[in-house]
Amino acid sequence: MKVVVAKESAPDERRVALIPDTVPRLQTMGMEVAVQAGAGADSFYSDDQYRQAGAMVVDDAGALYEGAGVVLRVVAPTLEEADRIPEGAVVISHFQPLDRRDLLERYLARRIAAFSMEYIPRTTLAQAMDSLSSQSTATGHQAVLMAAERLPKFFPMLMTAAGMIQPSTVLVVGAGVAGLQAIATARRLGGVVEVFDVRKAAKEETMSLGATFIEVDEGVDAATAGGYAKEVSEEYKQKQAALLGEHAAKADVIITTALLFGRPAPKLITEAMVEAMKPGSVIVDLAAERGGNCEITVPGEEVVRHGVRILGHTDLASRMAVHASQMYAKNLQNFLKHLTADGAFKFDMEDEITAGSLITRDGAIANVRIREAVQGAG
């Protein structure tokens, strides 16, 4: 089976789906690997490194896809790129099918089996394949570094001849993988960290990292079976807004990471809260790609409102391209090992990982949730 690694075409995308170290591991699984020339350049992996690892390096994009059985990508392809993929091939990438209806239809027309890395269940068995977690690790770390660089203050407490400098206060909203990494990084830099999350399981993890956990109501737990947050009552939202407003006003940095699976990001930081923050403060909105947790976030941009700098960049994992690619390649390696036997795909729909992440196959929508959503939308 020929596995193709394409050069990413999304703007500002520096990651690559497979690194040279992973090539021999796929070969032991009965796969030959072809890499588009320059695919790893932005992640500092050269074509020669891929060749030395045993991969074919192909200059021509058309020739790259000839005979491809599997296409590995970080981000889903453009329609033009999808048309180069042989009919019936397998594509594995991050793919939000409800946001990319055009690509979903193209996959169906070309009978492509499309797996979405976002839809891999967050279970113990799937941990080694969970790219949302691995990429969130890079995102959470990078978010704090960007905030620290822009904040016109020190992070740690300092004793100087000119007096004592108080440490910066960091408020992290959402203690998933990105939030936990942000907490750890902010603590390493000497910040005082407060954390808000609607999931009770986050409290112990937060406190183990030396942060203070703030909560609205000890009796409410808004965690889903998959570990994501779910919608809460209107009464809870009102209490939540009051609590967040109180702590946001004291924060030097706010890192927001709150997401609801398959839905727009909840608006947790209002413009009024931003206006009440100290001038020079920084907000890094890690939910910007899904609309943002802050009311005035501009996805993909960095803006200043009411004296507060708000970062809505959506490429933070890409800015950590070396290690982000390394982790993602390992996720793909483990995913392929789970999905295949003797170099061929099993397509075992009794398996929850396969059933959860397979979006299309044989000209039909294979994923139950996506099929119901598409049918419900008419």
Dig out the tokens for 205 from the structure: 């993890």
The per-type count for the chain, helices as H runs and strands as E runs, is 13, 19
> Whole-angstrom Cα distance, residue 15 to residue 319?
8
**Other C-beta atoms lying within 10 Å of the C-beta of residue 271:** 13
CB distance 250 to 244 below 8 Å: no
**Other C-beta atoms lying within 10 Å of the C-beta of residue 231:** 12
Query: Can you list the positions of beta strands (E) in 121-268?
Result: 158-160, 163-165, 169-173, 192-196, 212-214, 253-256
> Whole-angstrom Cα distance, residue 346 to residue 66?
22
Query: Over the range 345-375, which residues count as b (16 or more CB within 10 Å of their CB) and which as e?
Result: bebeeeeebbbbbbbbbeeebbbeebeeebe
CB distance 37 to 57 below 8 Å: yes
Q: Report the catalytic residues.
A: 122, 127, 130, 133, 228
